A and B are shown apart, each in its own frame.
Chain A
Amino acid sequence: MDEFAVRLKKLIDGLTKVILDSLIAEDIDQDEAAEISRFILERKKTITNDSELNNFLTELKDRYFIFSSFLDSFEKESQIQKEDAQKIEAIKSQLLKFSQ
């Protein structure tokens, strides 16, 4: 499983937990949970890259209030991971230059 797929799976896990938590807390009812789940499952099939994923997250946040805090932290985490990856890449290239 590539990094993107792992991230997507993690996101789906998190979203599912948010839906279940909201059901338990009675923030949403079963019909709403069904609608949200259908939306996620349908959209998941169409997401193939980061840009589509970001669009999906924005849309999700706009449509369903229950995800706002989860998506904020998910995005923050993704951002940190991305920055870390960039830094590692930069260090790697510097090391490569140094060795040359």
Chain B
Amino acid sequence: MADAQITPEVAKGLALRLVEQQFQTQNTTLSSLVEKAINVYRDGQAEKSLQMLAGDVCPYTEQDVKGVLLENLSSQDRDQTTRQKKVPVVGTPEGDRYDKTQKVADATRVYLESDGQQIPSELINELTAYVKHMPQYRDILYDQNGQLTSKANELATQIAQNLLRQPQYRRIIHKLFTERLDPKKRLANINAYEALKREIQALETQIKKLPEEVTQEQINKAKEDLEQARQELVKVSGQRTQLEILKANALQDQRNLNRLLLLQSELEAQIDLQFMEKADEDLQAARELLLATTDPQSKNYIQEQINQIEKNPNYKKFLPSYNTYKSTQQQITEIQSRKQQIKDLSQSITQAESDFQQKKQEYEELLRRQASSQTSQERARLEAELQRKKLELHDLEAQLIAERIRYASDIIAIPAEAAKEFFNEALGEAAKHYKEEAKKAAEKEKADRKLLEEQAIEKLGRSLGRREKRKRGGETVPVPDKKEARRLLTLLFQPSGLQGFIDEVAKNKQTLMSYGLTEEEANSFLAKKSDPEFVKTVGQNLAKKVLCDYLLAGGRLSRDDIFGIANTDWGKSIIEDGLKLSEEQKKFLESQLGKGVLKTLDEIKGGKTTSEWLRSNWWKIAGIISLVILFGLIGSSVAQSIPGIFSRG
């Protein structure tokens, strides 16, 4: 079999396949958990990746946890080598906070990493403290006086340990832990704070670089120095002439000096200089002694000594040359002294001139800087900005501290919050169940109540305005009772209308029970009698029945009754219903008998308007209404028999 050839098409396919295998993560911000799961998957550990996502494996290392805690809880500078923030100072509130948080976080990490097999004491302690405050355990941990019982600690620890062994609890901890200790997590204000800090540093550097501001004191001092230099210059200026004279003779002096030096060396060769100088010194000393001595004998002795030296042949021989030598030497010294004088004078004059120029420049520079206020304006602006930024930084720092405290609390509270969530989830299920049960019960109760109400209304409808009549077979039937119906009708015409009527009918339980209602039905009716909607609907229906019963029992309506009916809502409704039914029945009869057969009622009006006609024919309309109502109320039952009566077959 030939080997597969890598054609361009195959290469393209391979390249595409390779590209597809990569995760497209560049444009998405993933949580650290997902990033870690991806990395583990890339390392060929798909199952571990799943376990991380499922919350069975802790995704963060000890270093990750330490790093995120330092980032978010320490206000210290960064270590130059590791670039990680330094640990907060021990013994400070920040240090204590970090220490406690670090312990809880690491304990949680160990717990998660061991899949719940290792439960560090810090974790148990945190959870035990929370359990002691849980209302669910109040009954078993506290006595009647609200004090913890002697076994409360032991019990709370047991509860905490049991909780920590629950897989669901561990998953909740995993969720909270991965969210809150995400190595990428940063406090909301930290970036703004650090940026502001950098801005402040830059401003401070800028201010430092600004030239010093000139004060009046500096100017005064410079002026004094300049004056002093000027005086010094004036002083040396007087020596300038002397220098010029000296300089004018300098050339001659140099020539003389050369000559004298030559002569001096010639004389030195001619005489015994050592001897002559010794003799000269001795003579000088003797003469001085002679002058100082008063004793004649001593004077004589000294004089003798002097004479002895002067008579020395060598002395006599060398004396003229020696004298010349001495005079030459003196001239040489004089010339050299003048040369030194030139040098010294030149130097002091140059120095004075230079000092003066320098002091003058300094003074002028200070004056120039003072004249230009640019520097001080710039400094003022920068310092104001610096001050503003420092205040901002102060505010941000306060917010940052609050955030740090909150973050630390969030970490320390992980075991407690997980317990809370665990119980909420567990209780949530129970609550849901009970809620559904309660809903069903409420629905059933509502349906039962409705049924009771309907039964009560139905019974009232049957007995209101009626009396029992015994038939031949002993059976009793309700028949309209004119007197009772009239009493109720009178109630209906009262201003209290339907409400007054219902209040009377349902005065109390006994009244209702007297109409044949059971106690339960009576109670359900009484419960609704204040509901306006109920009063309107039920009252209207009962009123129709009462009116109908009254008319059926041979009752008659007076003029006032008719206007009373027409003025009440229930009365209008009765008329509308009756007319509607009457119209329907009329249409039915017309269809049965042919058009125009039932026009008698219309002709009765004799072409007058309804109001005029009503005023003059009230007694007629009473009869019509009676008919209409009767037709309306009993129409349906009558109508069923009409087709049979009028059938042509």
State the A residues within 8 Å of B (CB). 9, 12-13, 15-17, 19-21, 23-24, 26, 30-31, 33-34, 36-38, 40-41
Contacts and interface: CB of A to CB of B under 8 A. Distances in A.
A23 B333 CA distance: 107
Contacts of A20: 23, 34, 37-38, 41, 49
Q: Is the interface of B mostly helix, strand, loop or mixed?
A: helix
Nearest to B48: A16
Contacts of B171: 34, 38
A16 B41 contact: yes
A40 B24 contact: no
B41 A17 contact: yes
Contact of B53 (A12, A17, A21, A34): A34
Nearest to A10: B46
A85 B448 CA distance: 69
Contact of B31 (A30, A37, A38): A30
Given A24-B24, A34-B171, A40 B30 contact: no
B25 interface: yes
Contact of B34 (A24, A36, A38, A41): A24
B31 A40 contact: no
B47 interface: yes
B160 to A, nearest CB: 24
Contact of B30 (A24, A36, A38, A41): A24
B49 A16 contact: yes
Nearest to A19: B53
Contacts of A26: 28
Given A12-B46, A30-B31, A24 B51 contact: no
Contacts of A30: 31, 33-34, 53
Contacts of B33: 30
Contacts of A17: 41, 46
A12 B45 CA distance: 10
B55 interface: yes
Contact of A37 (B23, B28, B30, B54): B54
B48 to A, nearest CB: 9
Interface string B574-611: 00000000000000000000000000000000000000
B107 interface: no
A13 B56 CA distance: 17
Contacts of B47: 12, 16, 41
A34 B25 CA distance: 20
Interface string B553-591: 000000000000000000000000000000000000000
A33 B55 CA distance: 10
B54 A38 contact: yes
Nearest to B27: A24
A24 B35 CA distance: 10
22 contacts: A12-B47, A12-B50, A13-B46, A15-B50, A17-B46, A20-B34, A20-B37, A20-B38, A21-B23, A24-B25, A24-B28, A24-B34, A30-B33, A34-B54, A34-B171, A34-B175, A37-B54, A38-B54, A38-B55, A41-B47, A41-B51, A41-B54
Interface size for chain B: under 10, 10 to 19, 20 to 34, or 35 or more residues? 20 to 34
A91 to B, nearest CB: 16
Contacts of B31: 30
A19 B50 contact: yes
The 7 closest A-B CB pairs, nearest first, are: A37-B54, A37-B53, A16-B46, A13-B46, A38-B54, A37-B50, A33-B53
Contacts of B55: 34, 38
Given A24-B23, A24-B25, 19 more contacts: A12-B46, A12-B47, A16-B49, A17-B41, A19-B53, A20-B23, A20-B38, A23-B30, A23-B34, A24-B24, A26-B28, A30-B33, A33-B53, A37-B54, A38-B54, A38-B55, A38-B56, A38-B171, A41-B54
Nearest to B53: A37
Contacts of B30: 23-24
Max count, chain A CB within 10 A of own CB: residue among B31, B37, B53: B53
Contacts of A33: 34, 53
Contacts of B25: 24
Nearest to B174: A34
A65 B53 CA distance: 18
Max count, chain A CB within 10 A of own CB: residue among B28, B46, B47, B175: B46
Interface in B129-177: 171, 175
B56 A41 contact: yes
Interface string B31-67: 1011001100100001101110111100000000000
A13 B43 CA distance: 11
Contact of B50 (A21, A23, A31, A41): A41
Interface in B95-146: none
Max count, chain A CB within 10 A of own CB: residue among B31, B49, B171: B49
B157 to A, nearest CB: 29
B16 to A, nearest CB: 16
A79 B33 CA distance: 36
A16 B38 CA distance: 9
Contacts of A41: 47, 50-51, 54, 56
A16 B23 contact: no
Contacts of A37: 50-51, 53-54
Contacts of A16: 41, 46-47, 49-50
Nearest to B56: A41
A51 B56 CA distance: 28
Contacts of B54: 34, 37-38, 41
A24 B50 CA distance: 15
A8 B30 CA distance: 28
Nearest to A21: B23
A26 B171 CA distance: 22
B50 A40 contact: yes
A6 B542 CA distance: 83
Contacts of A31: 175
